[in-house]
Structure 1
Amino acid sequence: MAVIKRLFAPARVEEPTQASEIPAPQEPIAEKGPTRSRRQPAKEREFKPRDLYQEVTDSIVEAIENGTAPWQQKWDGRTRWPVNGTTQKPYHGVNVMMLAMLGLQDPRWCTYQQAKERGWQVRKGEHGSRIYFYKPLERKTGEIDPQTDEPKVKTIPVLKSYTVFNLSQIDGAPEMEWSSAHEKDVSDLTAQICEEIVEATGAEISHGHRYAAYSPSQDRVYMPDKESFESEAEYYATLLHEIAHWTGHESRLKREFGPDRKSVAYAREELRAELASAMLSMHLGLPAAIDGHAAYVGHYLQILRDDKKEIFRAAKDAERMTRYVMSFHPEFREGFEQEHREQMSAAVAAGGPEEIFDATDFDFEPDDIPMMGMRP
């Protein structure tokens, strides 16, 4: 997989690297003319906070323009879901795509401090990669709660970032165990799981067509025959892409599909299905992602440029779509339910790199909210 150039450039590792929310202030420009230049008082200097939403969006846009968007890549081996290498907890939302598109085979990441605590050492000269999470902050509303006579406060999510390193950049970290790393096709077990999931969804699938598509009005998936694909991997990746669209029906996750291919809603839905297809491939061990949707690239770029928060919403929806589909298999369902509960609890308790709710949902939700897509 092609490695794109580093989009964020933390300092070379001499000491622990930490993300900063505000850049260092610029030295004031000396006044022209006879007036003597002087240092501007700190309180009069202007600080411009980093726009993390724009930062992420710009990196995704650049990746698409360079042809290395994470949902369009061909993978030599199985791309695994990014996880924290010390806690084994998976990353979520936009962080999945941000880490996946860096082109590193090892899916394990951790902070400098986490590595240090385990006696590992980030190699000198290595660059970290930035990931993002929401931290809830309380703000006073200026109103008084009539029941408690206490000032009313509201909780708002604030996007934060910090730096992680891949375990391949760290001396002393345990070696990654690889199995069938360069196998080009799916195993019998993976094919069986894919078939079981698709069958359990109850989706109506019609084969024998010259195209792959989902019809919201008919609630039906249209597919070419499996034999017409170059490999089983391509067949299942394509089928799961259409199943991802299937989740958007009004009786399921209820998304807007758009009236035609030129509409913004259509592009948004296609973006979500592409992301979900990549996420499903990571979960299921499919060694390749489909890349036959180049015609939509211009639409993707436009909607991302028009709204810097769209990639966060799209990643949130894509992971929800992924979980919805995967939950039809009993071996995955329980794990997703537990993970979802932990994430919702983390959303309430988040406050720093050690307690992270990392952009799975665009907005915080109560920790007792039922997980969408769970079947009884």
Structure 2
Amino acid sequence: MREHIHQQQPAQRPGLYQEITDKIIAQIEAGILPWAQPWAGGPALSMPVNATTHRSYSGINILLLWDALFQRGFDSNRWLTFKQALSVGGNVRKGEHGTTVVFADRFTPKVEQEAPSGKEGEARSIPFLKRFTVFNIAQCEGLPAEMTATLAPVSHRFPIESAELLIQASGAVFQRGGEQAYYHTGGDYIRVPEQDSFFEPINFYRTALHELTHWSGAKHRLDRDFSKRFGDEAYAREELVAEMGSAFLCATLGITPSVRHADYIGNWLTVLKNDARAIISAASHASKASDYLLAFTQSAALTGDAA
């Protein structure tokens, strides 16, 4: 389940969209891709979760919290609001600065609500973001011991086995051979080089998870369609989703995320500079793709197919 943050007053549009986009652009231009942080020398690889509800954060919030994790050197990926800290008998230490996360919602103007009903007169809702502040558990004191205990996800002990299970459980058709990796939309199959052609075995799985993310977007799956965009922009948007989606999968399975298509960086910057909502939309699609694919392993475990 995903973390649903308590609502506050909506931020003015398009300020928050632009603020987040500018932050991501600055990171990319500085040579830092938010979804491929330097995990090897930093905190334990994991997805951010709410410390009180145990629900995972999703979409753009993953990137925002990963960034805070590395910039501030936290050793835990557990977060909570000021009120949540108080509710469990703890508190945020004086002087600590929180991290902004967002909640996407829609607003229907009063004039639209009063419009005639029916297909031609459906009320038009406007998407917007709400701003919230969360704190890392390292910024708090007095929290219950079980909330601050070191976590060791089982999947992190066997990352290759976990990735192989996901690939098998997905039912995706993999054709092996050749020198390139890609998802063939017409044939609905994934082509990957032979496993022994990769310098490191784990890179085969990074590549496979990237292509699986593309596979998830087929019309009969998540129906991720960027066809209204043109040429390089459409490809760049889909590659952005695949980069982040595979990074989310890797982090969940205990595999260090890496950059698969650095040659798209220029295209990504162009997309982000032209559309303040692009990174938030792409991160949302990436989260949905990751959740969709991970659900296959959960289903396999329930039916016993994983044995």
Q: Which moved more, 1:267-276 or 1:73-82?
A: 73-82
The answer for the alignment partner of 1:293 in structure 2 is 261
Which of 114, 125, 129 in structure 2 is aligned with 1:159? Answer: 129
Within 5 Å, which residues of 2 pair with 1:44-193? 51-76=15-40, 78-102=44-68, 103=70, 104-141=74-111, 156-173=126-143, 174=145, 175-179=148-152, 187-188=157-158, 190-193=159-162
How has the CA–CA distance of structure 1 residues 112 and 327 changed in structure 2, closer, same or farther, with 3 Å as cutoff?
same
Is 1:231 the equivalent of 2:195?
no
How has the CA–CA distance of structure 1 residues 274 and 324 changed in structure 2, closer, same or farther, with 3 Å as cutoff?
same
The answer for the alignment partner of 1:320 in structure 2 is 288
Q: Which moved more, 1:292-301 or 1:204-213?
A: 204-213
2: distance between equivalents of 1:282 and 1:228?
Answer: 24
> How many residues of Structure 1 are paired with residues of Structure 2 in the alignment?
282
Does the CA-based 8 Å contact 2:112-2:124 persist in structure 1?
A: no
Higher helix residue share? 2
Q: CA RMSD in A?
A: 3.3
Does the CA-based 8 Å contact 2:85-2:91 persist in structure 1?
A: yes
How has the CA–CA distance of structure 1 residues 207 and 302 changed in structure 2, closer, same or farther, with 3 Å as cutoff?
same
2: distance between equivalents of 1:296 and 1:146?
Answer: 46
2: distance between equivalents of 1:263 and 1:126?
Answer: 43
Deviations 1:91-126 (A, max 9, x none): 111111111122244111111222133332323332
The answer for the alignment partner of 1:240 in structure 2 is 209
1: distance between equivalents of 2:13 and 2:271?
Answer: 24
How has the CA–CA distance of structure 1 residues 199 and 157 changed in structure 2, closer, same or farther, with 3 Å as cutoff?
same
1: distance between equivalents of 2:114 and 2:10?
Answer: 32
Deviation at 1:130, TM superposition (A): 0.3
Give TM-score scaled by structure 2 length: 0.79
Does the CA-based 8 Å contact 1:234-1:289 persist in structure 2?
A: no
SS of the aligned residue for 2:39 comes to coil
How has the CA–CA distance of structure 1 residues 207 and 145 changed in structure 2, closer, same or farther, with 3 Å as cutoff?
closer
Q: Which amino acid aligns with 1:66?
A: A
Q: Which amino acid aligns with 2:291?
A: R
2: distance between equivalents of 1:203 and 1:49?
Answer: 40
Within 5 Å, which residues of 2 pair with 1:332-343? none
Deviation at 1:205, TM superposition (A): 1.4
How has the CA–CA distance of structure 1 residues 162 and 79 changed in structure 2, closer, same or farther, with 3 Å as cutoff?
same
SS of the aligned residue for 1:141 comes to helix
SS of the aligned residue for 1:327 comes to helix
Q: Which moved more, 1:303-312 or 1:322-331?
A: 322-331
How has the CA–CA distance of structure 1 residues 322 and 171 changed in structure 2, closer, same or farther, with 3 Å as cutoff?
same
Q: Which amino acid aligns with 1:179?
A: A
Does the CA-based 8 Å contact 2:99-2:135 persist in structure 1?
A: yes
1: distance between equivalents of 2:192 and 2:116?
Answer: 60
What are structure 1's unaligned runs of at least 5 residues? Answer: 1-18, 23-47, 335-376
Q: Which moved more, 1:123-132 or 1:323-332?
A: 323-332
Q: Which amino acid aligns with 1:116?
A: L
Deviation at 1:64, TM superposition (A): 1.2
Q: Which amino acid aligns with 1:71?
A: W
Does the CA-based 8 Å contact 1:69-1:101 persist in structure 2?
A: no
How has the CA–CA distance of structure 1 residues 209 and 145 changed in structure 2, closer, same or farther, with 3 Å as cutoff?
closer
Q: Which amino acid aligns with 1:85?
A: A
Give TM-score scaled by structure 1 length: 0.66
Which of 276, 280, 296 in structure 1 is aligned with 2:245? Answer: 276
Structure having the higher Rg:
1
Deviations 1:11-50 (A, max 9, x none): xxxxxxxx9877xxxxxxxxxxxxxxxxxxxxxxxxx877
SS of the aligned residue for 1:70 comes to coil
Does the CA-based 8 Å contact 2:10-2:129 persist in structure 1?
A: no
Deviations 1:145-178 (A, max 9, x none): 789xxxx976544311021111112122343414
SS of the aligned residue for 2:296 comes to coil
Deviation at 1:136, TM superposition (A): 4.7
Within 5 Å, which residues of 2 pair with 1:30-45? none
2: distance between equivalents of 1:227 and 1:221?
Answer: 17
Deviation at 1:293, TM superposition (A): 1.7
